Structure 1
Amino acid sequence: MTNQKTLASLAVLVQSGKFDPVKLAEETFHRIEAHPDQSIFVGLTRERALKEAQGAANRLKAGRSLGLLDGLPVAWKDLFDLAGSVTTAGSIVFKDNAPAAADAPVVGALAAAGMISIGRTNMSEFAFSGLGINPHHGTPRNPASPDIDRIPGGSSSGSAAAVAAGLVPLAIGTDTGGSVRIPAAMTGIVGYKATRGRYAMKGVFPLAESLDSLGPLCHTVQDAVWADAAMHSLTAPVIRRSELADLALVIPETIVFDEAEPEVVAAFEAAIKRLQAAGVRVRRAPFPSFAAVFDLMARHGALVTAEAYALHRERLAGPEATRIDPRVVTRTRLGEKITLSDYIALLDARDQLIHETVESLGPGELIAHPTLPHVAPPIAPLLSDDELFFKVNAKTLRNTLIGNFLDFCGISIPCGTGAAGMPVGLLLSAPHHQDDRLLAAALAAEATIRGEA
């Protein structure tokens, strides 16, 4: 069996003819079915995958490869429409819905690149939690914690776990408040949140459309670059690796280090020292706009809550509410208290804060801080204590939701370990639509951030 790891390593085997795409797909299903954690996937698309794999095999034998991703597996968070499969958004409420009539465009884009859709991954119900807990399908265990069952992070919990466990080299998630970057940091992989709108959102079940974005979970920045290109229908990546000596970072002194675990701060600071030693310019500065995001939420409510309530209000008012995770119901119903004037005030203030933040950055600067203030906590206490659940959920989402509100793109890269040897992530962020620059910098900095350079 192959040691399924990065897209790049698999591509070498497949493109050279040393490994057949059909064999790779069959091996992938065997890994998934034999894995001790059966809560990572909520559905497999075996018939589709084997048909796609056979098509890839035929192309490769005929010398007509579609490119680097042809014949490689991908898994999808259970928010993406896959033709012939029911999109349930992690909820039993939708389990009897009709199958999707067509692929979401982003699914179609990876299929056009030759990728093999393996199935649907588990998630927080309706994507409304940063912890990844799901009472209907079970909560995927964090593969980075072999001894204690810890959360994988959410809401793209199954997507992160599938990659971290070596079941697939790539999974696609969504990120409304951190749902790609959080599970990536907790499981020790790379998670890239693209600028909102970089990829087509049609056929992706929403949470809050003014905040929703998509992105890949994978093992390396290089893999994220390959996936990104295919997701917006480029035939090959166009991103060039930056030079480390040309990079400049600013570390916020506001919010992101509050109540952070000492081990997390130590791992982050060690990575920053390595970057400085390699020639990266680093400064530290207060970010009043970060504090303003939370002041706004305290006054007017959260934008995500307002939009989630608008989406689900009829569902919450009917009998379906009894079939939804009570914690999701509780959080969503908070949106009922947010008035139209509150919502407009949030949108107006958001535009101003985005402008102020971008103006505060020096030429070419990226923002760097710990992805999370803590490592992945154990699952059991969160299941038994709702007060603890909400407290930990709020803290987990805190650092990353700033980027969603301010319309950043961001990428979480493993930078070391914290308490109990659990992974710590370093988050690099850039203003909206500066994704190519962010990814170019991440390519250059990844080895140093990981301590491998």
Structure 2
Amino acid sequence: MTTEPRSIAQLSVLLQSGALDPVALAEETLAAIRSHPDAAIFTVLLEERAKAEAEAARRRLREGRSRGVLDGVPIAWKDLFDIAGLPTTAGSRVLKDAAPAGRDAAVVQALAGAGMVSVGRVNMSEFAFSGLGINPHYGTPRNPASPAGEHRIPGGSSSGSGVAVAAGLVPVSIGTDTGGSVRIPAAFNGIVGYKATRGRYAMDGVFPLAKSLDSLGPLCRTVQDAVWIDAAMRGQAAAGPLPRLSPADLSFVIPETVFFDGAEPEVAAAFEASVERLARAGARIRRQAFPEFSAVFDVMARHGALVTAEAFALHRARITGPAAAEMDPRVVKRTLLGEKIALSDYLETLAARERLTAAFEARLGTQDILISPTLPHVAPAVQPLLDDEDLFFQTNGKTLRNTLVGNFLDWCGVSLPCGTGADGMPVGFLLSRPKDSDERVLAAAAAVDGWLR
């Protein structure tokens, strides 16, 4: 059984009108997941919960008590969010026997309160510590855009989230983003990924990677879908209307520093074609150097990465004990680098982060939106990365490069599909702004989306 990819908005119209029954939709969704040839996308199906939530949505809709546009819509969760009664395994075998969560994570509760139907948990990079999405324990989901006979990476760490939406199994999946883990799989799989400002949502019940960087967001099919999910995750009964903007209302800045270094020609061409379309539509666009971006990597080279220091502190007992033998050795190797980061280095990095964030915000115009390729390359094949550890780490670093700048400097951002690169693989177009500019970035993304493809 296969499903035609549908957005939240498309499903909502059918559900609210009575043309589609929530129980039938939940059953169709679960059947599609069970019959899908890629068994590595979902790690757990929540069949009993999904049916109960769908039946409750059916009663509400029939009785005229709809909870809003999300009522009865299926959703999947990255395996970092607590689901009551289940251990939160974070893509790892070492947590499979952990105590079950006593209650849902706060954002799971919030979306359940909006009437959404949780159908399952999806795969991820172990402990969220890779941008590639490869998982040796639960399998690596196949990017649905892969050429016939090939297995391209899904992107990570929210690998299952990106593939579940791109494959049409669910209209939305919630991921986390510490160095790009929402925007990367969105770009690789040709869907929308919204990384919200860090702290925009309650983090209770979310398994951390690096709390100074962790943020959340939806992977979905449209910007409007992301807006609705964002409102519900913040406990709002309904989303406020976005400003109605056109490209002519917007001012964009293309960074000349870091973001295009080593970019595949086809990626750069797809991005520039989108820029040209926006310019023809009246958008104001300029190019500018941002020395702060290079400085981010200088700080990391001198003092170590924040994510590595915090991941080591979190996982020290695991990676220095017997549990390490059950973990992905690449995750262990990368995490162990944090052992060499002294407290003085960590504090220096935090101080540099404040300075560079302030300097960037002063350089960027008050209304300007940074636009860039989400990633410098399209999704590569899985097998060469498994065969060559050096290639794995090199590719992981390049994959994370553009997006991690936004985490370090505390941005929010939206990745949109903007055509294809080599071998017909999707290319992402990233819109970014400093923290707490979420409404501005979402409105801009909605205004330009139709001009990018």
Q: TM-score range by the shorter chain?
A: over 0.9
Q: Which residue of 2 aligns with 1:48?
A: 49
User: Which one-letter code corresponds to 1:321 in the other structure?
Assistant: A
Note the alpha carbon deviations across 1:75-99, whole angstroms, 9 max, x for none. 0000000111221000000001121
8 Å CA contact 1:186–1:424 kept in 2: the answer is yes
Provide the rounded CA distance (Å) in 2 between the counterparts of 1:434 and 1:72: 28
Q: Which residue of 2 aligns with 1:153?
A: 155
Provide the rounded CA distance (Å) in 2 between the counterparts of 1:354 and 1:444: 27
1:146 to partner: Cα distance:
4.2
SS in structure 2 at match of 1:199: coil
Provide the rounded CA distance (Å) in 2 between the counterparts of 1:253 and 1:325: 36
8 Å CA contact 1:371–1:399 kept in 2: the answer is yes
Note the alpha carbon deviations across 1:337-376, whole angstroms, 9 max, x for none. 0000000000000001110111101230000000000000
Q: Which residue of 2 aligns with 1:5?
A: 6
Structure 2 alignment gaps of length 5 or more = none
Q: Which residue of 2 aligns with 1:387?
A: 390
1:113 equivalent to 2:109? Answer no
SS in structure 2 at match of 1:173: strand
SS in structure 2 at match of 1:416: strand
Q: Which residue of 1 aligns with 2:317?
A: 314
SS in structure 2 at match of 1:283: strand
SS in structure 1 at match of 2:120: strand
User: Which one-letter code corresponds to 2:399 in the other structure?
Assistant: T
After TM superposition, the structure 1 = structure 2 runs for residues 53-92 of structure 1, keeping only pairs within 5 Å, are 53-92=54-93
**TM-score, structure 2 as length reference:** 0.98
Provide the rounded CA distance (Å) in 2 between the counterparts of 1:131 and 1:322: 21
SS in structure 2 at match of 1:79: coil
Note the alpha carbon deviations across 1:58-110, whole angstroms, 9 max, x for none. 00000110000000000000000011122100000000112111010100110
Tell me how many residue pairs correspond in the alignment. Answer: 450
SS in structure 1 at match of 2:160: helix
1:329 to partner: Cα distance:
0.2
User: Which one-letter code corresponds to 1:67 in the other structure?
Assistant: G
After TM superposition, the structure 1 = structure 2 runs for residues 247-286 of structure 1, keeping only pairs within 5 Å, are 247-286=250-289
SS in structure 1 at match of 2:452: helix
User: Which one-letter code corresponds to 1:300 in the other structure?
Assistant: H
Provide the rounded CA distance (Å) in 2 between the counterparts of 1:317 and 1:361: 43
Q: Which residue of 2 aligns with 1:426?
A: 429
Q: Which residue of 2 aligns with 1:446?
A: 449
SS in structure 2 at match of 1:53: helix
Q: Which residue of 2 aligns with 1:204?
A: 206
8 Å CA contact 1:241–1:441 kept in 2: the answer is no
Provide the rounded CA distance (Å) in 2 between the counterparts of 1:373 and 1:419: 12
Provide the rounded CA distance (Å) in 1 between the counterparts of 2:290 and 2:151: 36
SS in structure 1 at match of 2:194: strand
Provide the rounded CA distance (Å) in 1 between the counterparts of 2:3 and 2:15: 11
1:2 to partner: Cα distance:
6.3
User: Which one-letter code corresponds to 2:172 in the other structure?
Assistant: L
**TM-score, structure 1 as length reference:** 0.98
Provide the rounded CA distance (Å) in 2 between the counterparts of 1:209 and 1:436: 23
1:242 to partner: Cα distance:
2.2
User: Which one-letter code corresponds to 1:202 in the other structure?
Assistant: D
1:421 to partner: Cα distance:
0.4
Q: Which residue of 1 aligns with 2:137?
A: 136
Q: Which residue of 2 aligns with 1:350?
A: 353
SS in structure 2 at match of 1:80: coil
User: Which one-letter code corresponds to 1:323 in the other structure?
Assistant: E
Structure 1 alignment gaps of length 5 or more = none
Provide the rounded CA distance (Å) in 2 between the counterparts of 1:240 and 1:251: 23
Q: Which residue of 2 aligns with 1:326?
A: 329
Note the alpha carbon deviations across 1:364-418, whole angstroms, 9 max, x for none. 0000000000000000101111010000000000000000000000000001100
Provide the rounded CA distance (Å) in 1 between the counterparts of 2:78 and 2:430: 22
Provide the rounded CA distance (Å) in 2 between the counterparts of 1:236 and 1:104: 21
1:5 to partner: Cα distance:
1.2
Provide the rounded CA distance (Å) in 2 between the counterparts of 1:308 and 1:291: 23
Note the alpha carbon deviations across 1:406-434, whole angstroms, 9 max, x for none. 00000000011000000000000010001
RMSD over equivalenced CA pairs, Å: 0.8
Provide the rounded CA distance (Å) in 2 between the counterparts of 1:259 and 1:170: 32
Note the alpha carbon deviations across 1:3-42, whole angstroms, 9 max, x for none. 3410000001111001100000000000000000000000
SS in structure 2 at match of 1:298: helix
SS in structure 2 at match of 1:85: coil
1:241 to partner: Cα distance:
3.0
SS in structure 2 at match of 1:153: coil
Note the alpha carbon deviations across 1:222-277, whole angstroms, 9 max, x for none. 11111111111111111333232110000000001001000000000000000011
8 Å CA contact 1:160–1:187 kept in 2: the answer is yes
Provide the rounded CA distance (Å) in 1 between the counterparts of 2:103 and 2:147: 39
